[in-house]
Amino acid sequence: MIQFSAQQIALMIQGKVDGDQEVVVFEFGKIEEATTGQISFLANPKYEEFIYTTQASIIIVNETFTLKSPIKATLIRVADAYAAFASLLTKYQALKTQNLTGIQTPSYISESAKLGENHFVAAFAHIGNNVNIGNNVKIFPHVVIGDNTIIGNDVILYPGVIIYADCVLGNHITIHAGTVIGSDGFGFAPSTDGRYQKVPQLGNVIIEDHVEIGANTTIDRATIGSTIIRKGVKLDNLIQVAHNVEVGENTVIAAQTGLSGSTKVGKGVMIGGQTGTAGHLSIADGVKVAGRSGITKSIIQANSTVTGYPATDNGSALRAQVHMKNLPNLEKRVKELEILVAQLTQKG
């Protein structure tokens, strides 16, 4: 169990203690449920009422926050409570894993594989031929790393991650349980007899630095060349990235999204959940895509927002929704006009 005082935490997140500097916490808790010995945070004003009833020992708040009545907890005031709490969680997670070192048995490590310093290989992991692994890499149970794969420093591969042969991973990467990197792209050529002939997928997957990939996501290897996930990308759970896709720097993609083959996603793009794209199109830098959208053609305007199926400009889509609501009234008015025109025609 890891314990920290308010003073130690304040140093870690560049905060100022308001209260007992020596109070100690050892767990995290939601502000509405936290108990003694736990630390929480307040960033959303909707939860402000709980700061007066919570049993948390320490609460991280914005430096501008003003109390309306006395509380029991010690406050740590920071510029941005949410960001500071996220930073603290990251540091805590790193402390939990930094002491994991060594090689558990049974596990398989090829004689030709190279492992850096301070590595951890859990039982039932498999590391193939000519694999090159950097420093501070943590490999959990049932991870499989295919031949000739290169992995940089400070990488965490959670249980059941499968990395096929020839893939390249950079530094500071986290891949969560059940994700598959480098499986074959969906390539089949129709034959004259109605059957489909498999097109060999000879490329690989490249994942650059500071990428995090959620659980049960799949990233297919390229047919030729590379499927590329650029630095800073964050992928949610249950995402399908097809062959030869390129995802630009610092793009974030929510769950159940599918990127079809050869899609090119720009930098800083935000894609909502359950979105799908057609293949061989591009999405410009800074585009925001609403959840459950269907992208059927390239989006060339940077920093635009699109929604719907087929995905269109958000403003136009909202106006269309308003007109859709009015369709029953419009239908009624059209029928009334038809009757009126018919009556006038008869009189004429």
**Residues with a known catalytic role:** 243
Rounded Cα gap, residues 34 and 30, in angstroms: 5
Using alpha carbons only, give the angle 101, 103, 109 rounded to the nearest 5 degrees.
135
Distance separating alpha carbons of residues 216 and 143, to the nearest angstrom: 13
The answer to whether residues 309 and 327 touch, using CB atoms and an 8 Å cutoff, is: no
Q: Is the dihedral of CA 84, 85, 90, 93 positive or negative?
A: positive
Name the CA radius of gyration of the chain, rounded.
27
Q: Please name the helix (run of DSSP H) or strand (run of DSSP E) that holds residue 130, with its range, or none.
A: none
The token pair at 32 is 């509405």
| Dihedral angle, C-alpha 284, 290, 291, 295, nearest 10 ° | -40
What gap in Å lies between CA 163 and CA 219, rounded to an integer? 10
Answer whether the bond into residue 106 is a cis peptide, omega within 30°.
yes
What does the alpha-carbon distance between residue 75 and residue 335 come to, in Å, rounded to a whole number?
67
Please provide the DSSP assignment of 169-180 as one string: E-SS-EE-TT-E
Instruction: State which H helix or E strand residue 206 sits in.
Output: strand 204-207
Largest Cα span, the chain: 99
